[in-house]
Amino acid sequence: MVSSSSSSFRCFLQLFFFFFFFFFSFVISHVQASSLPFHPRDVLPLLPRQVSWPILNSLHGAVDLLPSFVGSVSSPNSIVNWKGACFYENTAWMEFHNKTGSEFGGGTLHIRVSYPHSWTCMDLYVFATPYRVTWDYYYLSREHTLEISEWEDKAEYEYVKNKGISIFLMQAGMIGTFQALWDVFPLFTNTGWGENSNIGFLEKHMGASFEERPQPWVTNISVDDVHSGDFLAISKIRGRWGGFETLEKWVSGAYAGHTAVCLKDSEGKLWVGESGHENEKGEDIIAIIPWDEWWDFELNKDESNPHISLLPLHPDVRAKFNETAAWEYALSMAGKPYGYHNMIFSWIDTIDGNYPPPLDGHLVASVMTVWSKMQPEYAANMWNEALNKRFGTQGLNLSDILVEIEKRGSSFDELLSIPEQDNWTYSDGKSTSCIAFVLELYKEAGLFDPIADSIQVTEFTIKDAYSLRFFENNSSRLPKWCNDADNVKLPYCQIKGKYRMELPGYNSMDPYAHMNERCPSMPPKYFRPQNC
């Protein structure tokens, strides 16, 4: 047990450190000519946790884990200058050499850093080509070098000579980066901490609100009121899928992270069509599942705390819905793998309008490079085949693709923004993510007629889908059990979840030719021009 005098002394020390921090913050804001012995941010982790962590949390967040592209250097004449997180003046240039006597030689990346904001800070960097990714940190004001003894082959040598080595700065600095790691980790944990972290991330970076609903948080559904084509919007907020969906929501602007669709058979039995259902082998596949089985799993076995809303089709749209064609399509896709091939391409429509800072095409290429080295089969499934489709090539790996882009005078940003085509067939068949599966079923059922041929549903995000003017717009026609316990009457039926699901832009847009092929999606407003 801690004595009262000891406790008082501890409180005194915490207050002292608190005012000490803000005193130096004031001093630094008024001193520009020289660096101080240390910066308050650099000593925060040394302070008592009750003082340091609230301040660190306000300064840094999970997004600070992403490096920021500062430039590429390809020769001594290609000089890049930038301001770092620690050092205010930084210069880099490239020198080619052949110290090993190899066929293509190697190179030295020179980086001169100067004018640190304190004596205790340091800058952390990532360096990348299509063939390698490495990192280094600098805390002394001088010239530093990164040695590459040999280029991997002629392709890397030619790429660096023409495009250069990409330099990325961890803009939060060393301490901020570790803090960001601490913020990212809980997003993927199946804990209350993880759930609160996901909620906090979405509130901070998307402006989302999580208002608690009155209990009960589960609706007693009558399946008689559910029809073929009714849309299921699902939002998971903890665990592995909760963390993944949080990042997906952030970059795309969607307020749901997963979808499924209802289907009734000729005997009136209700089923759920879902791309992303995990089978007994742990594989994510497309499945047609009895409603009772699907609903029982969501209520009792899904540890991600799913929030679920049912979006009934408008009566006029339901009258147009070809149930036979929908069933034929669903059964033809059952058992096929989840559409990883084109999952990220529904998000990226433009060269620079879909990347929340500090994301950009350079960083995406570097992340892909790292994953391609660590998990080549994963990379082939996630993007290699899709990039080859866009390039009109076959069998090129990511490094080959990046080199080919340089040869053609194009850019990786342009390649990523080429629209996916619904008729593309991959090595394991047609590729449909959760939302592409639902919308392709809608397409087969006639909901996009007469412009179906000019609609590529694989370009739609989840937000794009629930924004379609396909759904009920008259609350008096919603089932009686719809939101019956809630004091806020949503225009759709939330059937599970502690927090009220918001779907901005719901049921607001008619389909048009080439819909969602060139749309920006920048948080937190996610503004989109008309007919993009």
The answer to whether the CB of 28 falls within 8 A of the CB of 39 is: yes
Q: List the structure tokens of 479.
A: 């089932």
Q: Which of 529, 509, 485, 505 is nearest to 212 (CA)?
A: 485
The answer to whether the CB of 458 falls within 8 A of the CB of 432 is: yes
The answer to whether the CB of 28 falls within 8 A of the CB of 120 is: no
Q: List the structure tokens of 405.
A: 């882009």
Determine how β-strand 143-148 pairs with β-strand 132-138. Answer: unpaired
Instruction: Encode 111-167 in three state secondary structure.
Output: EEEEEECECCCCEEEEEEECCEEEEEEECCCCEEEEEECCCCCHHHHHHHHHCCEEE
- Calculate the alpha carbon distances from 331 to 43, 275, 431 in Å: 61, 12, 15
Give the pLDDT of residue 334: 96
Q: List the structure tokens of 50.
A: 């009750």
Q: Is 281 exposed, middle or buried (0-12, 13-18, 19+ CB in 10 A)?
A: exposed
Enumerate the β-bridge partners of residue 285.
277, 337
Using DSSP's 3-state secondary structure scheme, residue 51 falls into helix
Instruction: Encode 74-112 in three state secondary structure.
Output: CCCCCCEEECCCCEEEEEEEEEEECCCCCCCCEEEEEEE
Rg (CA), the chain: 27
Residue 405 corresponds to which amino acid? I
Residue 421 corresponds to which amino acid? Q
Give the pLDDT of residue 173: 58
Look up residue 450 and give its DSSP letter: T
Contacts of 351 (CB under 8 A, 6+ apart): 361, 411, 413, 414, 417
Give the pLDDT of residue 188: 86
3-state helix, strand, coil in the chain (%, to 5): 40, 20, 40
Phi/psi of residue 260, nearest 5 degrees: -155, 175
Q: List the structure tokens of 37.
A: 């012995």
Q: Is 93 exposed, middle or buried (0-12, 13-18, 19+ CB in 10 A)?
A: middle
Q: Could you tell me the sign of the dihedral formed by the alpha carbons of 113, 116, 122, 124, in that order?
A: negative
pLDDT per residue, tens digit, the chain (532 aa), is: 344 343 333 333 333 333 333 333 333 333 333 444 444 444 444 444 444 445 444 444 444 456 788 889 988 788 999 999 889 999 999 999 999 899 999 999 999 999 998 877 888 888 988 888 888 889 899 999 999 999 988 888 988 998 899 898 887 655 555 565 666 778 888 899 999 999 999 999 899 999 999 999 999 999 999 999 999 999 999 998 899 999 999 999 999 999 999 999 999 999 999 999 988 888 899 999 999 999 999 999 999 999 999 999 999 999 999 999 999 999 999 999 999 898 888 999 999 899 887 777 777 887 787 777 666 777 778 889 999 999 999 989 888 888 888 888 888 889 999 999 999 999 999 999 999 999 999 999 999 999 999 999 999 999 999 999 999 999 999 999 999 889 898 999 999 999 999 999 999 999 999 999 999 999 999 999 988 9
Cα gap 117→86, rounded to integer Å:
6
Phi/psi of residue 476, nearest 5 degrees: -70, -20
